[in-house]
Chain A
Amino acid sequence: DGGITQSPKYLFRKEGQNVTLSCEQNLNHDAMYWYRQDPGQGLRLIYYSQIVNDFQKGDIAEGYSVSREKKESFPLTVTSAQKNPTAFYLCASSYSTGSANYGYTFGSGTRLTVV
């Protein structure tokens, strides 16, 4: 079955640590996205990539980094520079068109907590 997989489901980070969230898709989608969701809030875009080896900052990129070395994979690193990283992180993918005429497929999310 085609889909998008995020791991781990739960992640705990100590102060000053970098952590990496995994996102893998087998839908042959060109575009991939990372969103952050805080309790009771909507989604805020962190980074997105419309093609391999290229990515752009979203609205809240500070303290985060990404790579897109393979079409299937778009890992997100939450660095120690991100002062308030506790949140629910969602990865999504879609066919890449400038007009966004296709719906996004979302993973089931990673809940990150700072301990």
Chain B
Amino acid sequence: SQQGEEDPQALSIQEGENATMNCSYKTSINNLQWYRQNSGRGLVHLILIRSNEREKHSGRLRVTLDTSKKSSSLLITASRAADTASYFCATAPSSNTGKLIFGQGTTLQVKP
């Protein structure tokens, strides 16, 4: 079952612009994670935000979490062509199954 839904499904921007991707989910969570996937490759873990956190930064990445709206956003500032990839959110349900549930992903294209 897919809990997370990313929006938009696809995003195309110019190098230097900011990119914002959103993720909505349905059940209560322990944490939410963001991953990047380059074409034909495995996923790479970017950042984890716990349910009691509202915002987290890592380099050019900024993640927010609103548990009342069951939503999260990933902001990539000053994007580069190398940021071109698919981005997935994944939720760790409060039911403590130990499993992550991945969304469908947002495909980001950064044009040089």
Binding site for B on A (CB under 8 A): 6, 31, 33, 35, 41-45, 48, 50, 58-59, 88, 90, 92, 96-109, 111
Residues of B close to A48: CB separation below 8 A:
98-99
Report the separation of the CA atoms of residues A44 and B100 in the bound assembly, to the nearest whole angstrom: 10
Q: Is the CB of A42 within 8 A of B43?
A: no
Q: Is the CB of B45 within 8 A of A105?
A: yes
Q: Tally B residues with Cβ within 8 Å of A.
A: 27
Report the separation of the CA atoms of residues A50 and B42 in the bound assembly, to the nearest whole angstrom: 21
Listed by A's residue number, 30 A-B pairs whose Cβ atoms lie within 8 Å are: A6-B42, A33-B99, A41-B105, A42-B2, A42-B4, A42-B104, A43-B43, A43-B102, A45-B99, A48-B99, A50-B98, A59-B1, A90-B43, A96-B98, A100-B31, A100-B100, A101-B30, A101-B31, A101-B50, A103-B33, A103-B48, A104-B33, A104-B35, A104-B100, A105-B45, A106-B35, A106-B42, A106-B44, A109-B41, A109-B42
Within 8 A of A (CB), among B93-111: 96-100, 102-105
Report the separation of the CA atoms of residues A105 and B46 in the bound assembly, to the nearest whole angstrom: 11
Q: Is the CB of B97 within 8 A of A98?
A: yes
Q: Quick check: is B40 within 8 A (CB to CB) of the other chain?
A: yes
Count, A-B residue pairs, CB within 8 A: 73
Q: Quick check: is B25 within 8 A (CB to CB) of the other chain?
A: no
Residues of B close to A43: CB separation below 8 A:
43, 88, 102
Residues of A close to B31: CB separation below 8 A:
99-101
Q: Quick check: is B92 within 8 A (CB to CB) of the other chain?
A: yes
For A31, give the chain B residue with the smallest CB separation.
B98
Report the separation of the CA atoms of residues A83 and B43 in the bound assembly, to the nearest whole angstrom: 26
Q: Is the CB of A108 within 8 A of B92?
A: no
Report the separation of the CA atoms of residues A42 and B43 in the bound assembly, to the nearest whole angstrom: 11
Report the separation of the CA atoms of residues A81 and B41 in the bound assembly, to the nearest whole angstrom: 27
Report the separation of the CA atoms of residues A59 and B102 in the bound assembly, to the nearest whole angstrom: 12
